[in-house]
Amino acid sequence: MNSSLLVVDDDESGFYVIEALLFKEGYDLRYAASGFEALEQLELQLPDLILLDVMMPEFNGIEVCRQIKSHPQHCHIPIIMVTALDSTDDMVACLEAGADDFISKPVNGLELQARVRSLLRVKQQHDRLQEALKAREATLKLRQDMAAMIVHDFRNPLTNIGVNCELLQEGGLLEKQQKRISKILMSWQQLTTLTDDLLIMAKMESGQLLLNQESVNICQLVQQVMSGFEGVALRKSIELKFESLPEPLNLWIDQNLCSRLIENLLSNALKFSNSNTCVTLQIHILSEPRAILQIRVLDQGRGIDQKLKQCIFEKYEIGQPIQGVSQIGLGLAFCKMVIEAHGGRLLVEDNQPKGSIFTVEFPLKVPVAASARA
């Protein structure tokens, strides 16, 4: 298909000159007699290149160029300014308006042909890049959709495993068999949680997840989550500390998602901590520069390398591999998505003298004094 050029000039004879100079190139030339008409044509059909006269009444070429380049769907179209002006200030004005090139009147045929060919090559490269990006996005979306479908289909066999294990436990098994069933159930619970996290993340990424927000006593929620890790902490000889608020505070949050967010942070803290250390969970309220609630999880583990502090929040990024520790790379990505869905943020910093501090910040949408009491 021949490249299309839009020639904008209030003097129609200017169009005929350009048409004659580019006749042998085989371009599809269209004409607009004013800047207003050019903008109207752009809404109907986008050209591959625009030749724009500078000196036009009412709406000059520089203003037309500036308006085209400020439009997200038109800004990629290369523009050659055609001008009788020859001062440096005029040329600078054209370039600052977004023009890609300019040519002086009277127009030289060879120069015009060369400049048009050059910018059309740039436009073709841009178009190929955009097509490649669209193809890549389509492939990624297909992969994500397929992954979400596969993960969704995991739920039925997982449910069957859980139900049948529970039925076996009621069947008078030997102690050794009961222990094996318990291990299977533990693995089933881990796989179920992972499957649910993947489905939630897929919904969040596609913008289809609706938060089920309600008024939740945040201190009570954190205590409930921490109680589920007492056994893990005891087995590893890790002390669990909770520094709560002096008074109860209710937040408008999705209780299920936020509970799992705290579970992931506590699980990581215990996972990467050595025996005879301490994991502390703190709740603070900050009033400056705006009212926020902080939930901080402090550990005394090996810490996180400075270079890894940003990438650990990406999916499947495990940071630094540790022998003997299961690392999938979804927990922190899940936490980041959950808190951002609530309008907050997730941060990580060093704990002194050793370890890491993960901080979750929730915006307080109501004054602390108006909080519901438990």
Domain boundaries, the chain: 4-107, 143-206, 213-370
Give residue 116's pLDDT.
93
Q: How many beta carbons lie within 10 A of that of residue 328, not counting itself?
A: 11
CB 181 within 8 A of CB 161: no
CATH 3.30.565.10 fits domain 213-370: yes
CB 151 within 8 A of CB 199: yes
Give CA–CA dist 296/217, Å, rounded.
17
Which residues, including other chains, have CB under 8 Å from residue 46's CB and lie 6 or more apart? 73, 74, 77
Nearest in space to 22 (alpha carbons), one of 113, 120, 115, 123: 113
What are the C-alpha distances in Å from 83 to residues 14, 30, 31, 60, 112?
11, 19, 17, 11, 12
Give residue 371's pLDDT.
39
Give residue 253's pLDDT.
92
268 three-state secondary structure: helix
Q: How many helices (H) and strands (E) does the chain have?
A: 10, 12
Token representation of residue 317: 């990024």
**CATH numeric code, 4-107:** 3.40.50.2300
Which residues, including other chains, have CB under 8 Å from residue 347's CB and lie 6 or more apart? 358, 359, 361
pLDDT by residue, tens only, the chain of 374 residues: 689 999 999 999 999 999 999 998 989 999 999 999 999 999 999 999 999 999 888 889 899 999 999 999 999 999 999 988 767 777 888 888 999 998 888 889 999 999 999 999 999 999 899 888 888 877 767 766 666 666 667 777 877 888 888 888 887 778 888 888 888 887 887 777 777 777 776 766 666 667 888 999 999 999 999 998 898 899 899 999 999 888 888 988 989 889 989 988 998 899 888 899 999 999 988 877 678 899 999 999 888 877 777 777 776 555 555 554 454 457 788 888 889 888 899 998 998 888 899 999 998 864 443 333 33
Locus of tokens 């001008």: 83
Token representation of residue 90: 């005029």
Q: Following DSSP, what letter does each residue of 23-84 receive, concatenated? A: GGGT-EEEEESSHHHHHHHHHH---SEEEEES--SSS-HHHHHHHHHTSTTTTTS-EEEEES
* Residues in the chain, total: 374
Token representation of residue 227: 């109680």
Give residue 368's pLDDT.
40
